[in-house]
Structures are given as structure tokens and as C-alpha cells.
Amino acid sequence: MTDSTTARSASEVALDYLDAFGKGDVDTALALLTDDAVWHVDGAPEVPTVGLRRGRDRIRRWMAVFPDAFEPLGGQVFTVADQGDDAVVCGRFHFRVKATGRIAEGDYAVRFTVRDGRIARYQIFEDSLALAAAFDVETAPGARRIRINDTVYGYDDTGTGPVALFLHGLFADRSMFAAQIRALTTARRCIAPDLPGHGASTWPADGWTLDDVAEDLALLITESRWGPVALVGQSQGGMIAMRLAARHPRLVERLALVGTTARAEPADRLPRWRERRTVLETGTADDRRTLFRQLQHAATTPEWRTAHPAAAAAEPDVMTGHSPEAMPLALDAAVLHRTDVRDLLPRVKAPTLILTGQNDQAMPVQWAQETAALIPDANLLVLPDAAHHLPLEAPTAVTEHLTRFLT
């Protein structure tokens, strides 16, 4: 890009992009983007062009969808307007969806944000319902799903007030914090996603990292204009939450870490986890259920399992309900490939509540004490007679502490 290009108006850059995109000149179109450009397209995530994406590589893949998915039938630009670094382009789309043969037509407006002569953000406003209908997508009432980069996240959205985002542990799902969310919905808008490969969420076929998920959620908070939010995470959810809070402190106003750590998995534990991964990858359904029962016994106290037989029986059902193909990759992300991020903790600016179980063998009390010492404004509470799955084992105590902290 030349100096004369960077001096041009936002609308000129936007029209150059639309011209290159319309001609299928992907390289020229991508050259008009910043390296960290954000693409924001609302709608049903079953439509392949819908979702939040960050970075040229992902936007290149987005552009590659169009020739295979759509047959252009026309379209035009009506109006272009500048306001500082923003340009708004209004027009009309008209194309046939190749997979269904249905025609989609309607008006649109695109907001381009330009930084130093390149497009830093693209957000389109269009008839997403008509577009979903052209793809034969049935939109279920109350269903919440959103595509973020390489994953479609299913999530619950309940309550009113400032947003609190609840992140569950490995092999659990968004129901992990159900008791706490029920108590908080009058004071907080509670968002509880299934993390990649769990519950209703998809997963990248080549795997993912905790850092990837943290960046996905940071993008969601930013583009949804929810921030700053309260983050609540148990085990792997806490690992994701602390990464997000440290790297994006402006997005987080409160942080609650439940039974978690900033450490990598200790080397002496890895051989046993690799054996478990083999069971997940090659074992039968009965083998996996046996493994999940063993993991549950390691994560909860026998007193809780005896006193709450129905809840204890339901937990392995949640674990076995996930896609068998995803679980080895989920274990990779949360355990085998987990990195040590203790050096990030001093960057956490939000007031932080740390809850840990006195009998937690997976994440010992000493690890929680270490985390509390490294976060500048942290308060640690040790819950007696509880182990790793605190929201289930000690729902009343966890609810009371979270309610006091978040309201």
C-alpha cells in the first residue's frame, strides 16, 4: 500500500474492497485488510458465511465459501457515506443458493472501519432470516448458537443486567453452573456456552487450545458489546477465564476462578492422561463410560456421591453425551497441551474470587494459594468437605459466594 492509499477516505477503501471481492480477486481484497481485521456477520450459524472471524487467514476461508455456495444474480450499491474512519455502504444482494436452488434477495448495509488505509472491521446488516430460509435452516425458538472463528458455540442466555459469562470444566457442559445461574438471573444476564467439542458446540477438526477459546470469547464479548463482563470459570473454564482476563483486562470487570490453576499439567501425571486419551480415542462406549466414572470418583467426594445419588448418576451421562471424536482433542487442549501461564496472572486487573475444595486432588489447595498470590486483587476461599466439582458438590456455598461477589 502506498502513502497515497493510506490517505484515502474510508469509502474509497471500502469500494476498492467491494470491487475486488465482486471480481473474485481474493488477494487484492485481502491486501486491503489489516492483519487483525474482524468480520462480523450475524445470523444462523448453519449459513456458512455467518459468524465472527478475526484475521486474514480466516477471512480468506470466508471468501472462499462464496463461489461454491452462491450463484450471483445481480446486486447493486445504492449509497456510500463517510464518517471519519467509518464508511457505510448500502445496497441490494441477489443470488441463488446452490445447495437448495433457492433465491435470496434483499437490502443490506455494511459498516467498514478503516485504520491506516486498511479495513480493520466489517459488519453487515442484512435480512438474515431470509438468508437462513434460502439455506433451508429451521430456526428453533430460544435456540442460541453463534459461529466464532472455527467453532459454532451453543449457549444459554438468561436473566437481565450486566453480563456474567460462565465457563464449564473438561467433559462437563453448560449445565455445570445451573444452580448458580438460577440464583443470579435477577441481577445478571447469564451467558453459559458449551465449550468446543462439548454439548451443542462444534470443534475444529485439527484441535484447539485454551488460548484459542479465550480469544474466541474475547471476540464475542467485544462484538456483542457486552463488556466489561464478569467471568466465572471452573477447572478448564477457569484456565480460559484467567487467560482472557490477563490478555484483555478491559473486557473483564470481575473474575471468579473455581477449582482451577495457571500451571501446566505436572509431568508425572501425563502418562496416565495419555492412557485415558487412548481409551477416549479407541475404546468402546462401555470403556468410555467406565473412564468417566473413574474421573468422577477422582473429582468428587464419596460423601457427596452417597448423599446425592441422582446427581452423581447424571454426571457420567453428561460426559458420555459428548461426541467421542471430540473428547481426545478436548483432553489435549485442557491437559496434555496446556501451557503454564503463571507469568500472566499479575496482568489481571479485575477483582478476583478464588474458590477451591479442601479435598480437591486434581487442583490442590496449594495451587489455588499460588494463583491468589499472583493476582493483584484476589481473595481465596477454601470450601470444606468438597473436591473438584464445587458447583455440583457445594452448590449452596458456591451460589452464596458468587452472589455476594457478583451483585
pLDDT at 4: 44
Q: Rg of the Cα trace of the chain?
A: 23
Report how far residue 75's alpha carbon sits from residue 106's, in angstroms, rounded to the nearest whole number.
9
Backbone angles phi, psi at 392, to 5 degrees: -95, -40
Predicted TM-score (pTM) of the model is: 0.89
Q: What are the structural domain ranges in the chain?
A: 3-134, 145-267+327-406
| Alpha-helical runs (H) found in 144-184 | 178-184
CATH 3.40.50.1820 matches 145-267+327-406: yes
Report how far residue 205's alpha carbon sits from residue 62's, in angstroms, rounded to the nearest whole number.
17
Other C-beta atoms closer than 10 Å to the C-beta of 76 total 8
Q: pLDDT tens digits, the chain, 407 residues: what are they? A: 444 444 789 999 999 999 999 999 999 999 999 999 999 999 989 899 999 999 999 999 999 999 999 999 888 899 999 999 999 999 999 899 999 988 888 899 999 999 999 999 999 999 888 888 888 877 555 568 999 998 999 999 999 999 999 999 999 999 999 999 999 999 999 999 999 999 999 999 999 999 999 999 999 999 999 989 999 999 999 999 999 999 999 999 999 999 999 999 999 999 999 999 999 999 999 999 999 999 999 999 999 999 999 999 999 999 999 999 999 999 999 999 999 999 999 999 999 999 999 999 999 999 999 999 999 999 999 999 999 999 999 999 999 999 999 99
Report how far residue 193's alpha carbon sits from residue 157's, in angstroms, rounded to the nearest whole number.
9
Place of cell 436473566: 159
Q: What is the end-to-end Cα distance of the chain in Å, rounded?
A: 50
200: three-class secondary structure by DSSP: coil
Other C-beta atoms closer than 10 Å to the C-beta of 293 total 16
Other C-beta atoms closer than 10 Å to the C-beta of 222 total 18
Other C-beta atoms closer than 10 Å to the C-beta of 156 total 19
Burial code (b: 16+ CB inside 10 Å, e: under 16) for 20-44 equals: bbeeeebeebbebbbeebbbbbbbb
pLDDT at 141: 53
Joined together, the cell numbers standing for residue 34 give: 489489516
pLDDT at 307: 94
257: three-class secondary structure by DSSP: strand
CATH of 3-134, one of 3.40.50.1820, 2.60.120.10, 3.10.450.50, 3.30.360.10: 3.10.450.50
pLDDT at 103: 86
